[in-house]
């Protein structure tokens, strides 16, 4: 019965605002489905990054296996392993950003994902600000990992360079501390 009462109100609302306005507003509302492109290609990008990162890990596993039996080990053996693994972690984190982006855009513009109901709420997104915050946190982690990867290949020649290095690590730690504090409020 409630549905029957709503129908005349809806027809009356359409008559009050005019057919052109109703068509225009309907078109604007349906145009939100264009974001499906961002969702699909965001997921494709995430899948590609997961595959590339996994390939990198498999490659470094092969390199490690062969390097362990070579005596002496190839030059920079340990550094190459650590750098490659950190690079793969960086790719995985960027893939997660793409995944969160695609998931969030879908939920905000298209529809709530029923299958996600009752599962881990890490991807529950109800506003653009919430989506932005989740993506920003993962991007900060990508930058931290990228910084660490670059530091592995840096040569420190003077005590001042070592001081700058220590200060940069302290700055990262302080930034991560405050990022964690903001996330709890």
Residue 1, domain member (yes or no): no
Is the pLDDT assigned to residue 48 strictly greater than 70? Answer: yes
Average pLDDT over residues 109-124: 72
Q: Looking at the domain assignment, is residue 168 inside a domain?
A: yes
ω before 72 within 30° of 0 (cis)?
A: yes
Domains in the chain: how many in total? 2
Whole-angstrom distance, CA of residue 5 vs CA of residue 15: 16
Does 148 have pLDDT greater than 80?
Answer: no
Clarify whether residues 142 and 181 are in a common domain: no
145 and 80 part of one domain? yes
Residues 113 and 86 in one domain: yes
Buried b (16+ CB within 10 A) or exposed e, 96-116: bbbbbbbbbbbbbeeeeeeee
| 123 and 140 part of one domain | yes
Task: Quote the pLDDT of residue 47.
Answer: 97
Same domain, 76 and 122: yes
Confidence class for position 144, pLDDT limits 50, 70, 90:
confident
Residue 82 scores a pLDDT above 60 = yes
Residue 167 has pLDDT above 60, yes or no: yes
Indicate if 32 and 122 belong to the same structural domain: yes
E strands of the chain, at which residues? none
Check pLDDT > 90 for residue 40: yes
Q: Do the Cβ atoms of 142 and 97 come closer than 8 Å?
A: yes
> In the structure, what pLDDT confidence band is assigned to residue 59 with cuts at 50, 70 and 90?
very high
Same domain, 25 and 60: yes
- 109 and 182 belong to one structural domain: no
Residue 171 is part of which domain span?
A: 157-185
> Does residue 162 share a domain with residue 149?
no
143 part of a folded domain: yes
| 85: CB partners within 8 A, 6+ apart | 57, 60
Burial (CB < 10 A; 0-12, 13-18, 19+), residue 38, is middle
Asked whether residue 117 falls in the same domain as residue 182, the answer is no
CA dihedral of 40, 42, 44, 45, whole degrees rounded to 10? 160
Is the pTM higher than 0.85?
A: no
Is the same domain home to 102 and 167? Answer: no
Domain assignment of residue 103, yes or no: yes
Q: Are 168 and 184 members of one domain?
A: yes
* pLDDT for residue 147: 79
CA 64 from centroid of its chain's CA atoms: 29
Q: How far apart are CA 86 and CA 92, in angstroms?
A: 10
Residue predicted with more confidence, 44 or 157: 44
pLDDT in tens, 92-114: 989 998 998 898 888 888 888 77
């Amino acid at each position: 019965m409630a549905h029957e009462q709503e129908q005349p109100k809806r027809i009356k609302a359409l008559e009050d605002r005019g057919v052109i306005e109703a068509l225009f507003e309907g078109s604007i509302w349906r145009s939100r489905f264009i974001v499906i492109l961002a969702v699909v290609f965001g997921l494709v990008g995430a899948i590609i990054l997961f595959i590339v990162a996994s390939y990198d890990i498999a490659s470094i596993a092969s390199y490690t296996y062969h390097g362990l039996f070579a005596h002496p080990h190839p030059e920079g053996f340990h550094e190459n392993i650590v750098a490659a693994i950190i690079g793969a972690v960086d790719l995985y984190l960027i893939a997660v950003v793409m995944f969160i982006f695609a998931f969030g855009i879908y939920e905000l513009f298209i529809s709530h994902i029923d299958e996600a109901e009752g599962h881990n709420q890490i991807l529950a997104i109800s506003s653009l600000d919430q989506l932005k915050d989740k993506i920003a946190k993962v991007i900060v982690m990508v930058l931290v990992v990228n910084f660490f990867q670059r530091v592995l290949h840096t040569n420190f020649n003077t005590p001042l360079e070592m001081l700058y290095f220590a200060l940069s690590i302290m700055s990262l730690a302080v930034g991560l501390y405050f990022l964690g504090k903001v996330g709890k409020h």
